[in-house]
Structure 1
Amino acid sequence: MSKEIKNVDMVIIGGGPAGITAAIYAARAKMNMILLENQILGGQVRSSYTIENYPGFKNIEGSELADLMVEQARNLGANIDEADPLVNVKLSDEHKEIETDKYIYITQSVIIATGATPRKLPIKNEEKFNGKGVHYCAVCDGAVYGGSVIGVVGGGNSALEEALFLTKFASKVIMIRRYDYFNGEKTTMEEVLKNPKIEIMYKWELVDVDGDRFVERAIIKNTDTGEQKELQLDAVFGYIGTEPKTELFKDYITLDDRKYIITNENMETNIRGVYAAGDIRQKQFRQITTAVADGTIAALAAEKYIAGLKKI
């Protein structure tokens, strides 16, 4: 059976802060648009326990901020589809086609805001214990480890914030850090250092995890001496960076050597009428505020592009 074809002005792919912001601007401009997100609206923001650096809020839970963003977009008339997975795309200067399970969208502009996914821990038993002691989202999975010993691997803000969150449940959180420093915000680092439930193991790296059906121990190695030893713990949460979700677009869009989309300051890609916003694109800083800015610029640039087409 052939799929129904729908003609729209704009397709936004991804429902994180960048995509939702683009939808807000597109809806306010009364554009015929749709936002496609078949996983979770709010993106990585939703998995943040607490946010203290978003203007207007002294402190807000990530899930609450995500809900407010989605509510605002919908109240403005944004068309959001959460139940129709993306299947394929065809992108060129002249033709833009977005195929989902149910429909084929022929559109004048596309905003790619699919974000990034946590990079998996580079250990032999990652796949065996994924979801059984190896995790990447403390808000999603931390509560099941009440009274347990939990390892956290990483040295950036995410690792620090999630370690703090996990102290709500764990009897002890062990931070496994391959260097002798962290890269996070000073206030967050200070909180971690003074938390009695957190132990920091500088200059150690995770080699592997092991156990019967679930993780029971971690094998770690000292980065100076090469010494290896086992840690008895119940789970390991990894925060070693992210990987962009660009697989569907790689045949059309120019990517950098890390597979992030290359854009100019107006979020324009190498294809006219196709934009990228948020964590999916090549840039130095990846914050909620920068994602929101990207979404704003992409939507305004797309609106201007569509207006120019209508004058032809």
Structure 2
Amino acid sequence: MIDILVVGGGTAGLTAGLYGVRAGKTVKVLEQKNYGGQIINSKEIVNYPGISKISGYEFATSLYRQATDAGVDFALGKVKSIRDLGKVKEVVAEIQGEEKVYEAKAVILAAGAKNRELGLPDEKKLTGAGVSYCATCDGMFFRDRNVAVAGGGNTALEDALFLSNYCKEVALIHRRDTFRGEQKMVEELQKKDNVTFFCNKKVIGLQSKGVLQGICLEDTKTGEKQELPVEGLFVAIGQEPENDRFIPLVDLDPKGYILAGEDCKTKTPGIFAAGDCRAKKVRQLATAASDGCFRWSSSGPGSMRLYWDINFNKQNWEVKRK
């Protein structure tokens, strides 16, 4: 019997595991692909408090080692289903091609969300070599260079605004003639001298010699093609959570994210959601770590009570003000 089973080994999952073992619990983390999550693909991290600069790989490796040294147990595999048996949760996972069943007193869902890709040849190969899915993570590395943003929602508009402060030229590419994002942001972008709109266009090809050198566009109405020399392509066409397997233990919002409060509690006692798989407004490295931490809330003058209340023993920890 495991005290806490964490589904997902990204920043939220590893942080949750670390805090769990430090609270004296046995913790198992099941990760489907790479320990550390998507941040492992980021060339450099410069916006995490307390760390001036570090590569995504170094950050993920450091967090993994920290959790391992603390006593977190790990396994590579995909969780297929979870059953609520009351005080015990039954987790079925595929580990190295074989089905394995775990029993845990509490489960933390930290499965993250994957970025939607354009589905182009060499897109995966060029990720980190000109292709990015996070402008705030990688934008500053393209200072004074020509870049493109693909997408038509708020994320794409925000990325274009952010990049316009660093980059020489920003091409905003959208397959339609109207944007789904806020009109106010569109108007703000239209005032930017270094932002060019490419409406009714879609990216159909990537040009490279080891690193991205340009993209090929196609007009969605006429089929006319054109080449655009850029050194960076920021894909902002949304994310795709994989939370259907957790139904009916959790409720999902229309986009498929798990509905849970800031205390990370879902509708099922003993099931928590943390990180990018949770319905929330901001998805950053710092917010993922925050979700993975113990949740504290004021419980009256002179004390703070652990809000992240694990149901298997109904124990509350208190920190008394000296």
TM interval, shorter chain, is 0.7 to 0.9
| Aligned counterpart for 1:24 among listed residues 14, 18, 24 | 18
Give, in whole Å, the separation in 1 of the partners of 2:112 and 2:126. Answer: 16
Give, in whole Å, the separation in 2 of the partners of 1:238 and 1:184. Answer: 9
Indicate the residue corresponding to 1:88 in structure 2: 81
8 A contact 1:244–1:260 mirrored in 2:
yes
1:160–1:305 CA distance, 2 compared to 1 (3 A)? closer
Q: C-alpha displacement at 1:204, in angstroms? A: 2.5
Indicate the residue corresponding to 1:219 in structure 2: 218
Residue type of the partner of 1:209? I
Cα deviation code 1:275-302 (max 9, x no counterpart): 0000111111111111111111369655
1:231–1:166 CA distance, 2 compared to 1 (3 A)? farther
1:290 has 2:287 as partner: yes
1:112 has 2:109 as partner: yes
Unaligned segments of structure 2, at least 5 residues: 171-193, 207-213, 297-305, 317-322
8 A contact 2:148–2:233 mirrored in 1:
no
Indicate the residue corresponding to 1:70 in structure 2: 64
Q: What SS does the aligned partner of 1:138 have?
A: coil
Indicate the residue corresponding to 2:209 in structure 1: none
Q: What SS does the aligned partner of 1:107 have?
A: strand
Q: What SS does the aligned partner of 1:12 have?
A: strand
Q: What SS does the aligned partner of 2:314 have?
A: helix
Q: C-alpha displacement at 1:252, in angstroms? A: 2.4
Higher relative contact order, chain-length normalized (CA < 8 Å, sep 6+) = 1
TM-score, length-normalised on structure 2?
A: 0.70
1:298–1:133 CA distance, 2 compared to 1 (3 A)? same
Residue type of the partner of 1:32? T
Q: What SS does the aligned partner of 1:306 have?
A: coil
8 A contact 1:176–1:202 mirrored in 2:
no
Cα deviation code 1:83-129 (max 9, x no counterpart): x33232223545411112342111110000000011244xxxx4xx4
Question: RMSD of the alignment, in Å?
Answer: 3.7
| Aligned counterpart for 2:313 among listed residues 297, 307, 311 | 307
Residue type of the partner of 1:30? G
1:191 has 2:184 as partner: no
Give, in whole Å, the separation in 2 of the partners of 1:9 and 1:97. Answer: 12
1:236–1:112 CA distance, 2 compared to 1 (3 A)? same
Q: C-alpha displacement at 1:209, in angstroms? A: 1.8
Residue type of the partner of 1:192? C
Residue type of the partner of 2:102? Y
Q: What SS does the aligned partner of 1:271 have?
A: coil
1:237–1:53 CA distance, 2 compared to 1 (3 A)? closer
Indicate the residue corresponding to 2:134 in structure 1: 158
Matching of residues 4-15 of structure 1 within 5 Å? 7-15=1-9
1:45 has 2:21 as partner: no
Q: C-alpha displacement at 1:183, in angstroms? A: 0.8
Cα deviation code 1:254-291 (max 9, x no counterpart): 11111111112211000000000001111111111111
Larger deviation: 20-29 or 43-52?
A: 43-52
8 A contact 1:268–1:298 mirrored in 2:
no
Q: What SS does the aligned partner of 1:20 have?
A: helix
Give, in whole Å, the separation in 2 of the partners of 1:188 and 1:59. Answer: 19
TM-score, length-normalised on structure 1?
A: 0.72
Cα deviation code 1:65-86 (max 9, x no counterpart): 111111111111111112x332
8 A contact 1:177–1:204 mirrored in 2:
no
| Aligned counterpart for 1:230 among listed residues 225, 229, 238 | 225
8 A contact 1:109–1:302 mirrored in 2:
no
Indicate the residue corresponding to 1:145 in structure 2: none
Unaligned segments of structure 1, at least 5 residues: 1-6, 143-149
Indicate the residue corresponding to 2:204 in structure 1: 209
Indicate the residue corresponding to 1:264 in structure 2: 261
Indicate the residue corresponding to 1:277 in structure 2: 274
Q: C-alpha displacement at 1:188, in angstroms? A: 4.9
Matching of residues 128-139 of structure 1 within 5 Å? 129=120, 132-135=121-124, 138-139=127-128
Percentage identity across paired residues of the two chains: 26
Cα deviation code 1:141-194 (max 9, x no counterpart): x2xxxxxxx788xxxx81465566579xxx964445658984149775422247
Count of residues paired in the alignment: 270
Q: What SS does the aligned partner of 2:103 have?
A: strand
